[in-house]
Structure 1
Amino acid sequence: MSIFDTFLNWSVFVESLPALLRGLWITVGLGLTSIVLGLAGGLLLVMLRLYGGLPMSPLAIGYIDVFRSVPVLVLLIVIYYALPFVGIRLSPFWAATTALSLVSAAYSAEILRAGIEGVPKGQFEAARAIGLSSIRQMTDIVLPQAVKLVIPPLTSNSINVMKDTALASVVAMPDLLKQATQAQALAANPTPLIGAAVIYVILLLPFVRSVGLLENRLNRRAR
């Protein structure tokens, strides 16, 4: 049997494609939901860390440090398999979303912190001088400038979240990888896994390229 029959079997791929596409939509939904919640959580965390005072700032720092240290897979297993013992039972989708969002929020908070601290201090002083409140300083002056600095690393973090959705297969969620694994078992052929890998590349490659383009554009503007 040739490599094409084993790994690139066209008939097996065509048969498994409907299942792969169903899994793709679930993967995209899981990834986008986790990215949005992670960004919202990261923004809240960075505000608490920089301006929350005691005790909120140390708590935010502790959260960021802990969840940047915990592997997503371990957190996912704890959420899905351990929380039911204390009366909290989540569906596979929301267990995966929770795990991905909690970790993404920690990384997003650090990225946003770097962006906010990268804004020149003179901008803060000027905002205070014209009498803007702390909220107006942040929304009108600081965040619009910080966003330009953090778009590339936030895009990279979003790509990582989308790739980590593959871990949801361990809690029996029918995402792209789970569908590919089941199709492989039914066909006794690894072609569906190769097909899933190709779909991941097609999905994520534009975002990977966009990071490089954004960084080049920002570097040209900086010069």
Structure 2
Amino acid sequence: MTSVLFAVTGSSYWTLRDGTRHPCGYWPEELAVPHEVFTQAGFDVVVATPGGVAPVPDEAGFSAEMNGGSAEPGQRFRTYLDRIDIEPIDLDLTVAADYDLVFVPGGHGPMEDLAVSKTVGELVAEFTDLGKPVAAVCHGPAALLAAEGPGGWLFRGRRLTGFTNVEETQVGFAERAPWLLEDRVGELGGRFEAGETPWAPYTVQDGNLYTGQNPASSRPLAEALVAAVAVSSPRL
């Protein structure tokens, strides 16, 4: 059975430029939807957080305002997350050899902890060294920033996407953020790409690296990974 490691933020806040803490966590859609896609495909899913702490969903992700004006999606995400009853293991103790791929949901939480975790960076490098898929959506690619290779950043020169400066501006955090994901990827030498329309689904694959731009990209990104695993393991 294909085994998926969900590397989820353990932070319930994001420290803004002025030092204040913005309550957040992981983005509900970006955990619930890929989790459902993977389990429906017959994959075994293991959730892990730094220290094994209980992950906190960003309540904004359940709101109608952040789900196209409808209350239904947020309620559906909440119901699903309540049903799966997440009991995380310690991300700091995981090894890539035990899993077939790693998936990092976004939300602003990863900007606080995963982005600066040497352990997470080393884990991402392990998956890459083994040729296994590394996937992240929205702010999830922040977890890639601490991954080092022989020539510096592990993903220097690679194509990837994530939450854009435009989208961060539209949610009101660009001017308050200590740094922006799109900028940081570019500074490190990544080839950041974005779709033509903000908030529309957009995914990028470059070798073993799979990334999605925003919450709407969660499902197509997960489906691309299921298809990729099916090709590499036809028995599934």
- Normalised by the length of structure 1, the TM-score is 0.25
**Higher normalized contact order (CA 8 Å, seq sep 6+, divided by chain length):** 1
Higher strand share: 2
Higher helix share: 1
